Amino acid sequence: MTKQELIDQIDKKYDDLGENSLNYLAGLLQAKPINYWDYIEVDTLLSLQKPRTDFKDEKIFIMYHQVTELVLGMMKHELDQLVYEELSDKTWVDKINRLNRYTSMLITSFDVMKYGMNYNDYNTFRATLTPASGFQSVQFRHIETMCTPLENLVNTMGKKRLPENPTTQDYFEHVYWKDAGYNRETEEKTLTLRQFEEKYQDELIELANDVKGKTLAEKVAKMSNPSDELIEKFKAFDRLYNIDWPIVHLETAQHYLDQKGESKEATGGSEWKKYLHPKYQQRRFFPEIWSAEEINNWG
């Protein structure tokens, strides 16, 4: 492309907007060249770790979870497009491949948690984090809600408690993850769960209503003839996100909370073994694409 062709394209771009391209070129003349550290906000990122103790590895713990939230943000970025836009089959495959890569990153990164901190230090400083818990990650709930109808996020016991024609609110009262912080016998909720509900429940209900009929699972069900390749991609995503990742999380929790048979309590007070294990969660995004045997052996 010649210099004149480029100038002509710039003129056309701003003419189409009803703007004078000279004003924008004059601004470009005064702009400073961009650099990596400002564009990525490196200094800001490295200022966001605020340990509550003097244990060195607490900073690793914070940074690891911040990286996790960034990866979840990347996944939500892809889901926003898959849910709200009409895409070609090729784009679907590309987007699901991305989701699978991001989930694989989350799985392999757990080695940082499992082997990247001193056992005794972690079990001392983690007490200062109570009642905060990874359970309170709302992006995790966003992803679930965008991937599948709420009925697929209610386990067998929860489905028995649902009214005949459940509302979105009803589903959220019995969603699988509330079992981690709600004693159904005493009707008591942990502070961890109460904090989360107060901050995010209305937002999650609004999201669920907004994506109703457009979740990934519902879009797959409406596909007239999805390719075998695409179905396998969906299966891989379901398995990675809802079996492999929780299992690695469980194994890491066991390393710190149950390594010596001590069965320590999670910072959020949850029954973490039941909360994390896929056979208790029974979370599947695309149950229709799995066989009865595969579902019975889930996790």
DSSP secondary structure, 194-226, as one string? HHHHHHHHHHHHHHHHHHTTTSHHHHHHH-SS-
Domain residues for the domain of 215 are 44-296
Same domain (yes/no): 95, 180: yes
pLDDT tens for 260-285 read 555 555 554 555 566 677 877 789 99
Same domain (yes/no): 179, 274: yes
Q: pLDDT at position 147, please?
A: 98
> In this structure, is residue 36 part of a structural domain?
no
pLDDT band for position 166 (50/70/90)?
very high
How far is the first Cα of the chain from the last one, in angstroms, to the nearest whole number?
56
DSSP H stretches of helix in the chain = 3-16, 21-30, 36-39, 42-45, 57-84, 89-115, 119-125, 138-147, 156-161, 168-174, 191-211, 216-222, 228-239, 245-257, 272-276, 278-281, 292-296
Contact by Cβ (8 Å): 172, 205 = yes
Same domain (yes/no): 89, 25: no
Same domain (yes/no): 218, 100: yes
pLDDT band for position 203 (50/70/90)?
very high
Same domain (yes/no): 77, 204: yes
Same domain (yes/no): 132, 218: yes
93 pLDDT above the threshold of 80:
yes
Same domain (yes/no): 82, 229: yes
Reading the block at residue 190, the tokens are 């942990």
> In this structure, is residue 267 part of a structural domain?
yes
Domains contained in the chain, number: 2
211 pLDDT above the threshold of 60:
yes
Q: pLDDT at position 256, please?
A: 64
Same domain (yes/no): 21, 109: no
Same domain (yes/no): 107, 162: yes
Same domain (yes/no): 21, 162: no
Residue 92: burial class (beta carbons within 10 Å; 0-12, 13-18, 19+): buried
Least confident of 39-48, 162-171, 194-203, 278-287: 278-287
> In this structure, is residue 58 part of a structural domain?
yes
Same domain (yes/no): 74, 183: yes
- Which of the given ranges, 108-122, 139-153, 256-270, has the highest pLDDT on average? 139-153
pLDDT band for position 290 (50/70/90)?
very high
Other CB atoms within a 10 A radius of the CB of residue 61 amount to 21
72 pLDDT above the threshold of 70:
yes
Same domain (yes/no): 26, 88: no
Q: pLDDT at position 126, please?
A: 86
Q: pLDDT at position 260, please?
A: 57
Domain at 226, CATH number: 1.20.58.480
> In this structure, is residue 39 part of a structural domain?
no
Q: pLDDT at position 120, please?
A: 84
> In this structure, is residue 11 part of a structural domain?
yes
Q: pLDDT at position 254, please?
A: 76
